[in-house]
Amino acid sequence: MKAATLEFLKQRFSEYYQGDRLLSPPSVPQREWAYVLFDPAYPEIRMRRHLGFGSREEVFSYIRNMAPAHAYYSSAYYANPGAPTMHEKGWLGADLIFDLDADHLMRGPYDRMLSRVKEETVKLLSMLTGELGFSEREMEVVFSGGRGYHIHVRDIAVRNWGSAERREVIDYVCGIGLDPTLIFSRKAPSPRGWHQRYIDALSEYLLWLEGRSEKDQVAHLTSLEGVGKASAEEFLRRIPDILSHLSRDPGKINVKDALVSRILRALSEEKEGEFSSRLRARAALADEPVTTDIKRLIRLPSSLHGGSGFRVTPLAIRELPDFDPLVDAVVFSDREMKVDCSAAIQMSLLGSVYKLEKGVSRVPEALAVFLCCRGMAEIAGGGGHAAG
């Protein structure tokens, strides 16, 4: 990043932080704080961490003075958050955190990735409130400022959970470790939750399998671990009966039958495949290591994301469906700036689509910040052509 670009970003971030826009999490004195600054090596990450502050005013003063590129605080509560080692901090508990990142879901244009990850966030919130019993009052949804969303659960009942308990929650929402024997052993499976999701995914998969040629059906099933040609052919003959039971009375599926049990288990254990992809589509694909980590650093809501210039935006759950990060998380103006793009770029922002050629263009300040933060452009002088 050129010196002029770095200075431009430092000035814009500093200008933002001088306003009365900052928020803080509860229990500030028990949190560890960390920052990445706009130093000459930026965007190389050189984190300053193991910082402790006695009050929100001290936190705000530090941010306004330093204007960091990235600001974080710990999901954990500590007795001595400013201690230089994790052992010395004295862990007292931690919020339950979920992180949904579009990079883990798809690749494509930025606006499509943001739309896709929002769908996953809505799905996760539905599971947390409708199936796991978490209260909306104890949760905060936050647009990360980059490619996803964070969900903070601050219910006192989960604060002392260790990694094992948090692992159970993330396994549930991600649909990890589902056992078909347990699912079909219940006479009346639940009409919601993973019982029904598994049944729906299996029905969809079997209908897909029926639509293929007999040769392809056998080849597909024999590709599963432990399934031979004779077993595949016998299972194919049973599919109409299995589908009938799935639609009317799933409890009648005989999971004690060695053939059925073996194939269902092979399908469930397959990491990539037709059935697993259908099951995965019904999961809420949060980042597992984030949730199980009891000492995680998380972005500060109301701070700016140094990789985009967007606001790390806290939301009420009811606001999420109408939230558009390419409008609602943008904090910089539409005054014109000149940037030198390293390649041709197409980008949606503030309700407009910008098509930029390689070289110098005039763009709104908000887009200039985004492109410079992303390393896609540098601040330029001289002439240029408008793009829109």
99 included as an active-site residue: yes
- Say how far apart CA 205 and CA 222 lie, in whole Å: 16
- Assigned token pair, 32: 């560890």
- The amino acid occupying position 261 is S
Show Cβ contacts of residue 358 under 8 Å, excluding neighbours closer than 6 positions. 341, 342, 343, 344
- Say how far apart CA 375 and CA 209 lie, in whole Å: 46
324 included as an active-site residue: no
From 20, 39, 101, 334, the catalytic residue:
101
287 included as an active-site residue: yes
- Say how far apart CA 147 and CA 305 lie, in whole Å: 10
Quickly count: other Cβ atoms within 10 Å of residue 83's Cβ.
15
From 95, 287, 293, 340, the catalytic residue:
287
**Cα angle for residues 32, 16, 48 (degrees, 5° grid):** 30
From 20, 39, 95, 99, the catalytic residue:
99
Catalytic site residues?
A: 99, 101, 287
